């Protein structure tokens, strides 16, 4: 009997975890095209308020600036509920460590939130592509939707239908410790005014100068996981000549190029640069903030605001280096999406919330400022006028490159990429060896893209 109990215990402990991921039988029918479900159109506020029955919706938000703070979000909720007393909004605050798992588990358990605040790489590439989000195209006709920048709307759309409403945007950039660069006489290799490098060669000259000045840990190519990997991607593609990561249709990956391999070989051989499989972007940011690293590849305005109290040196946000006319930077967009929970009343309430938040310029401005970013439509005013620091970050906005993060097989691509960097660290550093690793990663990523 004891044997049976012990064996059952062993089986239970193992199978328990694996089975947590068991598909629900309520999964939507196979969808050749993404989310065929049409969401009910958001009614005019007055009509909704007058006739509607009480409805409760949930909003899950990742910690994008103050969108992760109760004080800020509760203020909006109170204001919204004052205007729409029949709608109750319950907020759940996610973090980037466990947020994905929590969200995916909820989706699988049929408990997806109604509203989700995140970027298109998750909302579009993961959820909308699987038919889990509602079509929000009709919101383009609302007061908040009419002026949306078309390029940003495109990143939130599949086959012309908009599945996520863009709220805020910013450019991901890199950053340097200005004090260390000044001490190393390396500021001559860059243009502080424009936040650009004189050339790719000067970028490497600057790294060498800092290294020679005695600061040995200039930069690290973090590859312990996928978090913040836009930094390492653009660290490669910009100096390689703004090489594209996918084809224009976003159906296949195209990063296994000689140019990318050559630039990685250059990093490999560069003093002061190390491939570090033990850290991820969050660790790199901490090391930069602590003054250990002289440069950081994962940076943006929000990160600056989150860390400014801990920084005791002058930081200089920089575009990634390129010899092209302008660098192709990664855009960071944050959107509200609505999960298709097969409940028309909740869907309508969720859309009402989006319309409420985006149609009134004052409320919308608050939402954008809370994210520490910039609007996704022309508000006719500079939100950061007089703010020297934020203006520094604002100048990168014209340099958004293609938003390839919506390419199919995105999760697999990210895995392949950081694993490829780990493998590259173990090569002899030759372009040929590096290209072989990039090709292996690209083949695997494209196989996943084709299968999705």
Partner 1 sequence: MSNKRVVLNTKNHKLMIHETATSYLFMLPFMIFFVGFVLYPMFMCVYTSFFDATMGREDIFVGFANYVQLSKDPVFWKGLWNTLIIVLVSVPVTCAFSLWVASAISKMPVAATSAFRCIFYLPVVTGSVAVTVVWKWMFNNYYGIFNYLGNNLGLFDERINWLGDERFALGCIIMILLTTSVGQPIVLYVSALDNVDKSLVEAAEVDGATQMQAFWKIKWPQMMPTTLYILVITTINSFQCFALIQLLTSGGPNNSTMTIMYYIYYNAFKLYKYGYGNAMGVILAIIIAILSAVQFKLGQEK
Residues at the contact surface with partner 1, assessed by CB under 8 A: 2-3, 6-7, 9-23, 27-31, 100-101, 104-105, 107-108, 126-127, 130-132, 217, 223-225, 276-280, 287, 292, 411-412, 415, 418-419, 422-423, 425-426, 448
Q: Least Å distance between CB 256 and partner 1?
A: 19
If the CB atoms of residues 91 and 436 are measured against partner 1, the closer one turns out to be 436
How far is the C-alpha of 437 from the C-alpha of 445, rounded, in Å?
12
Neighbours of 217 (CB within 10 A): 17
Please identify, using beta-carbon distances, which residue of 6 and 381 lies nearer to partner 1: 6
| Tally of CB atoms within 10 A around 398 | 9
CB of 108 to partner 1, least distance (A): 7
Least Cβ distance, residue 407 to partner 1 (angstroms): 15
Residue placing its CB nearer to partner 1 in the complex, 131 or 331: 131
Where helices occur in 84-186 by DSSP H, the ranges are 99-108, 120-122, 150-155, 178-183
For residues 397 and 448, which CB has a smaller minimum distance to partner 1 in the complex? Answer: 448
SS3 of 84, please? coil
Cβ–Cβ under 8 Å, residues 42 and 348: yes
Instruction: Report the residue number, 415 or 431, with the smaller CB distance to partner 1.
Output: 415
Specify whether the CB–CB gap between 376 and 144 falls below 8 A.
no
Min separation Cβ 17 and partner 1, Å = 7
Considering the complex, state which of residue 1 and residue 385 has its C-beta at the smaller distance from partner 1. 1
Closest CA relative to residue 48, chosen from 289, 258, 355: 355
Q: Are 293 and 218 in contact (CB under 8 A)?
A: yes
Minimum separation from the CB atom of position 33 to partner 1 (A): 12
Spatial distance between the Cα atoms of 153 and 192, rounded to a whole number of angstroms: 32
In the structure encoding, which two tokens stand for residue 331, read together? 């855009």
Pairwise CA distance, residues 193 & 397, whole Å? 15
- C-beta of 417: minimal distance to partner 1 in Å? 13
């Amino acid at each position: 009997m004891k044997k049976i109990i012990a064996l059952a215990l062993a089986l239970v402990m193992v199978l328990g975890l694996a089975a947590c991921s068991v598909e629900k039988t309520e999964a939507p029918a196979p969808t050749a095209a993404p989310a065929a479900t049409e969401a009910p159109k958001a009614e005019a506020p007055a009509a909704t308020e007058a006739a509607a029955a009480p409805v409760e919706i949930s909003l899950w938000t990742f910690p994008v600036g103050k969108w992760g703070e109760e004080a800020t979000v509760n203020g909006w909720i109170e204001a919204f509920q004052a205007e729409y007393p029949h709608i109750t909004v319950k907020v759940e605050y996610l973090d980037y460590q466990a947020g994905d798992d929590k969200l995916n588990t909820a989706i699988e358990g049929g408990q997806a939130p109604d509203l989700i605040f995140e970027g298109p790489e998750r909302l579009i590439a993961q959820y909308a592509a699987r038919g889990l989000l509602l079509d929000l195209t009709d919101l383009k006709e609302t007061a908040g939707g009419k002026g949306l920048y078309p390029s940003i709307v495109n990143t939130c759309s599949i086959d012309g239908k908009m599945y996520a409403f863009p709220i805020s945007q910013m450019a991901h950039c890199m950053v340097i410790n200005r004090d260390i660069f000044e001490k190393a006489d390396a500021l001559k290799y860059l243009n502080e005014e424009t936040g650009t490098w004189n050339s790719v060669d000067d970028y490497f000259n600057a790294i060498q100068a800092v290294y020679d000045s005695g600061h040995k840990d200039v930069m690290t190519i973090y590859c312990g996981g996928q978090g913040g990997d836009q930094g390492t991607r653009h660290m490669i593609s910009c100096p390689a000549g703004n090489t594209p990561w996918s084809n224009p249709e976003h159906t296949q990956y195209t990063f296994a190029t000689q140019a990318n391999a050559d630039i990685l070989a250059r990093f490999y051989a560069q003093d002061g640069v190390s491939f570090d499989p033990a850290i991820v972007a969050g660790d790199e940011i901490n090391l930069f903030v602590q003054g250990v690293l002289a440069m950081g590849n994962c940076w943006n305005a929000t990160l600056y605001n989150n860390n400014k109290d801990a920084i005791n040196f002058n930081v200089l946000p920089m575009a990634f280096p390129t010899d092209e006319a302008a660098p192709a930077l990664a855009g960071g967009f944050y959107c509200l999406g609505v999960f298709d929970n097969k409940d028309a009343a909740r869907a309508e309430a969720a859309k009402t919330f989006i319309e409420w938040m985006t149609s009134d310029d004052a409320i919308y401005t608050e939402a954008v400022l809370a994210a520490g970013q910039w609007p996704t439509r022309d508000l006719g005013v500079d939100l950061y006028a007089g703010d020297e620091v934020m203006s520094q970050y604002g100048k990168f906005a014209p340099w958004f490159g293609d938003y390839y993060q919506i390419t199919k097989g995105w999760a697999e691509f990210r895995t392949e990429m950081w694993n490829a960097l780990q493998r590259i660290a173990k090569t002899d550093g030759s372009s040929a060896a590096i290209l072989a690793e990039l090709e292996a990663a690209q083949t695997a990523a494209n196989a996943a893209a084709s299968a999705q």
